[in-house]
Protein backbone atom coordinates (compact mmCIF):
# COMPACT_ATOMS: atom_id res chain seq x y z
CA UNK A 1 0.00 0.00 0.00
CA UNK A 2 1.47 3.44 -0.92
CA UNK A 3 2.63 5.53 2.01
CA UNK A 4 -0.12 8.17 1.66
CA UNK A 5 -2.82 5.50 1.62
CA UNK A 6 -1.34 3.88 4.69
CA UNK A 7 -1.13 7.26 6.43
CA UNK A 8 -4.82 7.95 5.82
CA UNK A 9 -5.73 4.69 7.54
CA UNK A 10 -3.52 5.17 10.59
CA UNK A 11 -4.55 8.79 11.08
CA UNK A 12 -8.19 7.72 11.18
CA UNK A 13 -7.55 4.58 13.23
CA UNK A 14 -6.31 6.34 16.36
CA UNK A 15 -9.47 8.38 17.13
CA UNK A 16 -11.72 5.44 16.26
CA UNK A 17 -9.78 3.17 18.63
CA UNK A 18 -9.98 5.81 21.35
CA UNK A 19 -13.73 6.10 20.81
CA UNK A 20 -14.14 2.32 20.95
CA UNK A 21 -12.23 2.04 24.21
CA UNK A 22 -14.14 4.99 25.67
CA UNK A 23 -17.48 3.47 24.64
CA UNK A 24 -16.66 0.16 26.30
CA UNK A 25 -15.52 1.93 29.46
CA UNK A 26 -18.58 4.18 29.48
CA UNK A 27 -21.14 1.41 29.10
CA UNK A 28 -19.53 -0.69 31.84
CA UNK A 29 -19.08 2.19 34.28
CA UNK A 30 -22.57 3.63 33.66
CA UNK A 31 -24.24 0.26 34.06
CA UNK A 32 -22.39 -0.50 37.28
CA UNK A 33 -23.03 2.96 38.71
CA UNK A 34 -26.78 2.86 38.14
CA UNK A 35 -27.01 -0.80 39.07
CA UNK A 36 -26.19 0.32 42.61
CA UNK A 37 -29.06 2.83 42.68
CA UNK A 38 -32.51 1.48 43.53
CA UNK A 39 -35.46 3.08 41.78
CA UNK A 40 -38.07 4.52 44.14
CA UNK A 41 -40.93 2.48 42.69
CA UNK A 42 -38.98 -0.76 43.14
CA UNK A 43 -39.71 -1.95 39.60
CA UNK A 44 -37.51 -4.85 38.56
CA UNK A 45 -36.16 -5.24 35.06
CA UNK A 46 -38.67 -7.99 34.31
CA UNK A 47 -41.56 -5.82 35.50
CA UNK A 48 -40.33 -2.85 33.47
CA UNK A 49 -40.11 -4.94 30.31
CA UNK A 50 -43.61 -6.27 30.88
CA UNK A 51 -44.96 -2.74 31.33
CA UNK A 52 -43.40 -1.58 28.06
CA UNK A 53 -44.89 -4.54 26.20
CA UNK A 54 -48.36 -4.02 27.63
CA UNK A 55 -48.27 -0.28 26.93
CA UNK A 56 -47.70 -1.13 23.27
CA UNK A 57 -50.34 -3.85 23.10
CA UNK A 58 -47.85 -6.72 22.94
CA UNK A 59 -48.82 -9.70 25.10
CA UNK A 60 -47.20 -12.76 23.55
CA UNK A 61 -43.53 -12.11 24.38
CA UNK A 62 -41.88 -14.19 27.10
CA UNK A 63 -39.39 -12.66 29.56
CA UNK A 64 -36.70 -14.98 30.91
CA UNK A 65 -33.47 -14.61 32.91
CA UNK A 66 -30.09 -15.40 31.39
CA UNK A 67 -26.59 -15.64 32.80
CA UNK A 68 -23.89 -13.01 32.61
CA UNK A 69 -23.71 -9.22 32.68
CA UNK A 70 -24.77 -6.99 29.77
CA UNK A 71 -26.01 -10.11 27.96
CA UNK A 72 -29.55 -8.77 27.72
CA UNK A 73 -31.23 -9.24 24.33
CA UNK A 74 -34.45 -9.97 22.52
CA UNK A 75 -34.48 -13.14 20.42
CA UNK A 76 -37.11 -13.01 17.65
CA UNK A 77 -36.64 -16.72 16.94
CA UNK A 78 -38.47 -17.72 20.11
CA UNK A 79 -40.07 -14.31 20.75
CA UNK A 80 -38.37 -13.99 24.13
CA UNK A 81 -36.67 -11.17 26.01
CA UNK A 82 -33.63 -12.45 27.88
CA UNK A 83 -32.52 -10.33 30.84
CA UNK A 84 -29.21 -10.81 32.62
CA UNK A 85 -28.90 -11.54 36.32
CA UNK A 86 -28.23 -7.88 37.30
CA UNK A 87 -31.36 -6.84 35.41
CA UNK A 88 -34.11 -9.47 35.63
CA UNK A 89 -34.86 -9.33 39.38
CA UNK A 90 -33.03 -6.10 40.18
CA UNK A 91 -35.05 -3.00 41.10
CA UNK A 92 -32.37 -0.56 39.95
CA UNK A 93 -32.28 2.40 37.61
CA UNK A 94 -30.01 0.54 35.19
CA UNK A 95 -32.24 -2.55 35.22
CA UNK A 96 -35.32 -0.56 34.23
CA UNK A 97 -33.47 1.22 31.42
CA UNK A 98 -31.90 -1.90 29.95
CA UNK A 99 -35.05 -4.02 30.24
CA UNK A 100 -37.22 -1.32 28.69
CA UNK A 101 -34.76 -1.07 25.81
CA UNK A 102 -34.96 -4.80 25.08
CA UNK A 103 -38.75 -4.62 25.29
CA UNK A 104 -38.48 -1.83 22.72
CA UNK A 105 -36.90 -4.33 20.32
CA UNK A 106 -39.78 -6.76 20.89
CA UNK A 107 -42.23 -3.95 20.08
CA UNK A 108 -40.30 -3.18 16.89
CA UNK A 109 -40.79 -6.74 15.68
CA UNK A 110 -44.44 -6.75 16.74
CA UNK A 111 -45.32 -3.63 14.74
CA UNK A 112 -43.06 -4.39 11.76
CA UNK A 113 -40.71 -1.44 12.27
CA UNK A 114 -38.99 -0.77 8.92
CA UNK A 115 -35.28 -0.89 9.84
CA UNK A 116 -35.74 -4.03 11.97
CA UNK A 117 -37.37 -5.74 8.98
CA UNK A 118 -34.46 -4.71 6.76
CA UNK A 119 -31.95 -5.95 9.33
CA UNK A 120 -33.75 -9.28 9.65
CA UNK A 121 -33.86 -9.66 5.86
CA UNK A 122 -30.11 -9.14 5.40
CA UNK A 123 -29.00 -11.38 8.28
CA UNK A 124 -28.53 -14.49 6.06
CA UNK A 125 -26.36 -12.66 3.50
CA UNK A 126 -24.49 -10.90 6.31
CA UNK A 127 -23.67 -14.24 7.93
CA UNK A 128 -22.48 -15.58 4.58
CA UNK A 129 -20.39 -12.47 4.02
CA UNK A 130 -18.76 -12.59 7.44
CA UNK A 131 -17.81 -16.26 6.95
CA UNK A 132 -16.24 -15.94 3.51
CA UNK A 133 -15.05 -12.33 3.36
CA UNK A 134 -11.72 -12.93 5.09
CA UNK A 135 -11.06 -16.06 3.00
CA UNK A 136 -11.57 -14.14 -0.23
CA UNK A 137 -9.54 -11.18 1.04
CA UNK A 138 -6.61 -13.31 2.18
CA UNK A 139 -6.53 -15.41 -0.98
CA UNK A 140 -6.86 -12.32 -3.15
CA UNK A 141 -4.06 -10.64 -1.22
CA UNK A 142 -1.65 -13.60 -1.17
CA UNK A 143 -2.32 -14.76 -4.72
CA UNK A 144 -2.51 -11.17 -6.00
CA UNK A 145 -5.87 -11.80 -7.67
CA UNK A 146 -7.64 -8.44 -7.78
CA UNK A 147 -11.11 -9.77 -8.74
CA UNK A 148 -11.05 -12.19 -5.79
CA UNK A 149 -9.92 -9.39 -3.48
CA UNK A 150 -12.81 -7.25 -4.79
CA UNK A 151 -15.25 -10.06 -3.97
CA UNK A 152 -13.84 -10.09 -0.42
CA UNK A 153 -14.42 -6.35 -0.12
CA UNK A 154 -17.99 -6.75 -1.32
CA UNK A 155 -18.67 -9.53 1.18
CA UNK A 156 -17.13 -7.54 4.02
CA UNK A 157 -19.27 -4.52 3.10
CA UNK A 158 -22.35 -6.59 3.93
CA UNK A 159 -21.24 -6.66 7.57
CA UNK A 160 -20.76 -2.91 7.50
CA UNK A 161 -24.24 -2.52 6.00
CA UNK A 162 -25.70 -4.61 8.81
CA UNK A 163 -24.06 -2.41 11.44
CA UNK A 164 -25.31 0.70 9.64
CA UNK A 165 -28.90 -0.56 9.69
CA UNK A 166 -28.48 -1.53 13.35
CA UNK A 167 -27.96 2.10 14.44
CA UNK A 168 -31.54 3.35 13.86
CA UNK A 169 -32.84 0.10 15.36
CA UNK A 170 -30.91 0.68 18.59
CA UNK A 171 -31.71 4.39 18.82
CA UNK A 172 -35.39 3.74 18.21
CA UNK A 173 -35.52 1.01 20.88
CA UNK A 174 -34.01 3.42 23.40
CA UNK A 175 -36.47 6.13 22.38
CA UNK A 176 -39.40 3.74 22.86
CA UNK A 177 -37.98 2.69 26.23
CA UNK A 178 -37.70 6.24 27.54
CA UNK A 179 -41.15 7.13 26.24
CA UNK A 180 -42.66 4.12 28.00
CA UNK A 181 -40.75 4.92 31.19
CA UNK A 182 -42.19 8.45 31.13
CA UNK A 183 -45.74 7.39 30.30
CA UNK A 184 -45.83 4.78 33.07
CA UNK A 185 -43.97 6.94 35.58
CA UNK A 186 -41.51 4.13 36.28
CA UNK A 187 -38.71 6.52 37.22
CA UNK A 188 -38.54 10.03 38.59
CA UNK A 189 -36.65 12.75 36.71
CA UNK A 190 -33.29 12.05 38.33
CA UNK A 191 -33.60 8.30 37.84
CA UNK A 192 -34.67 8.79 34.23
CA UNK A 193 -31.49 10.76 33.56
CA UNK A 194 -29.49 7.83 34.92
CA UNK A 195 -31.32 5.33 32.72
CA UNK A 196 -30.78 7.60 29.73
CA UNK A 197 -27.04 7.74 30.42
CA UNK A 198 -26.88 3.94 30.45
CA UNK A 199 -28.74 3.72 27.14
CA UNK A 200 -26.62 6.44 25.54
CA UNK A 201 -23.44 4.66 26.58
CA UNK A 202 -24.72 1.43 25.06
CA UNK A 203 -25.64 3.23 21.83
CA UNK A 204 -22.13 4.65 21.63
CA UNK A 205 -20.69 1.14 21.39
CA UNK A 206 -22.74 0.57 18.22
CA UNK A 207 -21.50 3.85 16.76
CA UNK A 208 -17.91 2.85 17.52
CA UNK A 209 -18.41 -0.60 15.98
CA UNK A 210 -19.79 0.94 12.80
CA UNK A 211 -16.90 3.39 12.53
CA UNK A 212 -14.39 0.58 13.03
CA UNK A 213 -16.07 -1.48 10.34
CA UNK A 214 -16.14 1.48 7.96
CA UNK A 215 -12.48 2.12 8.64
CA UNK A 216 -11.56 -1.50 7.95
CA UNK A 217 -13.58 -1.37 4.74
CA UNK A 218 -11.71 1.80 3.78
CA UNK A 219 -8.40 0.02 4.39
CA UNK A 220 -9.35 -2.81 2.04
CA UNK A 221 -10.44 -0.30 -0.59
CA UNK A 222 -7.18 1.62 -0.27
CA UNK A 223 -5.20 -1.62 -0.64
CA UNK A 224 -7.20 -2.47 -3.74
CA UNK A 225 -6.69 0.98 -5.27
CA UNK A 226 -3.00 0.98 -4.40
CA UNK A 227 -2.39 -2.40 -6.01
CA UNK A 228 -4.40 -1.37 -9.04
CA UNK A 229 -2.27 1.76 -9.41
CA UNK A 230 0.94 -0.26 -9.26
CA UNK A 231 -0.35 -2.70 -11.86
CA UNK A 232 -1.10 0.11 -14.31
CA UNK A 233 2.38 1.61 -14.06
User: Quick one: CA dihedral 57, 162, 65, 96, positive or negative?
Assistant: negative
Distance CA 10, CA 134 (A): 21
3-state secondary structure of 110: helix
Alpha-carbon torsion (101, 107, 109, 112), positive or negative: negative
What is the DSSP secondary-structure string of 15-62?
HHHHHHHHHHHHHHHHHHHHHSSB-TT---HHHHHHHHHHHTT----E
Catalytic residue positions? 102
d(CA 73, CA 82): 5
CA 65, 67, 72, 75: dihedral to nearest 10 degrees? -70
The CA dihedral of 16, 122, 113, 192, to the nearest 10 degrees, is -30
Helices (H), the chain: 3-35, 45-55, 85-88, 93-111, 114-142, 146-184, 189-232
Query: With 0-12 CB in 10 A as exposed, 13-18 as middle and 19+ as buried, what is 72?
Result: buried
What is the rounded distance in angstroms from the CA atom of residue 68 to the CA atom of residue 91?
17
Amino acid sequence: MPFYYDTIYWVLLVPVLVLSLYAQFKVSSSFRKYSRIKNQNRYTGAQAAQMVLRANGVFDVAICPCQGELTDHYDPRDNTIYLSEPVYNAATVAAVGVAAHEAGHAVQYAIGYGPIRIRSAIIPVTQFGSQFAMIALMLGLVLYVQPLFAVGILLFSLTTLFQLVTLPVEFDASSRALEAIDDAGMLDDKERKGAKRVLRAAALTYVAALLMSLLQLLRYLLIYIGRDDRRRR
